[in-house]
Structure 1
Amino acid sequence: MAVDALDTKILRLLLEQPRTSVREYARVLGVARGTLQARLDRLERDGVITGTGPTLSPAALGHPVLAFVHVEVTQGHLDELGDALASVPEIIEAFSITGGGDLLTRVAARDNAHLEDVIQQLIQLPGVVRTRTEVALRERVPYRMTGLLDSVDRTAPARPAP
């Protein structure tokens, strides 16, 4: 799906001013409300916009320890293990990967002892061969999309004239 210059402007506004109304976005961008709504609907339908909810802080929810746990999986068990990981609430993300492991999970824990308990729970899941854990010390670059959006904007086609 091609994202054009107007789409990137809409996406930037959504990132920078997430609580603004569609009417206000349309006013700021100088487009009709219907045009903006149609663009938003298309961006959602095409999977560019994947959510509209708030971003929550695990630390503020009492889980300040962040760790990345690499999981090596017995061949043929990746899908079933992925399903099993979804039942562990402290696992907030999981990706199948290449390199030193088969899965990479992001784990939020209350403290180091709780992290160890989560890892022990992971080790008991069918198909887990071994794990390797890296504890995050400090966030250096928070999750962001504006830099990527800038890159897309530089290569996006210009909006067609009405």
Structure 2
Amino acid sequence: MNIDALNWKILSCLQENARMSNTEIGRKVGVSSPAVSERIKKMEDLGVIENYHTTISSFEAGYQLKALITLRAFMGKLKPFLEKVKTYDEVVNCYRITGNENIVMEVVLKNQKHLENFIDQLIVYGETKTQIVLSHVVKNKAIKKP
């Protein structure tokens, strides 16, 4: 889908606040609420808009640690890991990547002991490297018109 300037304005509003009403979006972009609704529906149907979600503070939810863990899978262990990783509650994002490692995961953990136990589950699949996140520098940055 070729996203026109008006759709980019609508997407910008939704990225700013996904709960913004179609009426408010229409006021901001200069079209009627039904026109906004129709455009949003079309972008949803075409997969431009994938989902809407709530961001939860992991710290406030009881997870004191956030970490990035890379995995370099052992021979024959990548495919089993790709299925297993979907079952780990600790993993909030997981990417298959290029380079020396195969996987990078963003994980939330209650404490250091939880991290140790989690790594113990991973090492049967490959070699891990762990970095503790100190702070979030860029958060859910909006995608802009290219």
Q: TM-score, normalised by structure 1?
A: 0.81
Classify the secondary structure of the residue corresponding to 1:141.
Answer: coil
Partner Cα distance (1:64, 1:4) in 2:
42
Classify the secondary structure of the residue corresponding to 2:54.
Answer: coil
- What is the CA distance between 1:85 and its match in structure 2? 0.7
Structure 2: gaps (5+ residues): none
For the pair 1:27 / 2:27, whether they are aligned, the reply is yes
Aligned to 2:61: 61
Classify the secondary structure of the residue corresponding to 1:27.
Answer: helix
Structure 2 contact 68–132 (Cα < 8 Å) conserved: yes
Structure 1 contact 94–105 (Cα < 8 Å) conserved: yes
Higher relative contact order (CA 8 A, sep 6+): 1
Structure 2 contact 77–126 (Cα < 8 Å) conserved: no
Please list the CA deviations of residues 57-111 of structure 1 after superposition, one character each: whole Å capped at 9, or x if unmatched: 2112111311111111134443331110111100111111011211111111111
Structure 2 contact 58–108 (Cα < 8 Å) conserved: yes
Aligned to 2:110: 110
Q: TM-score, normalised by structure 2?
A: 0.89
Structure 1: gaps (5+ residues): 156-162
Counting matched residue pairs gives 146
In percent, how many aligned pairs have the same letter? Answer: 29
Aligned to 2:89: 89
Structure 2 contact 74–127 (Cα < 8 Å) conserved: no
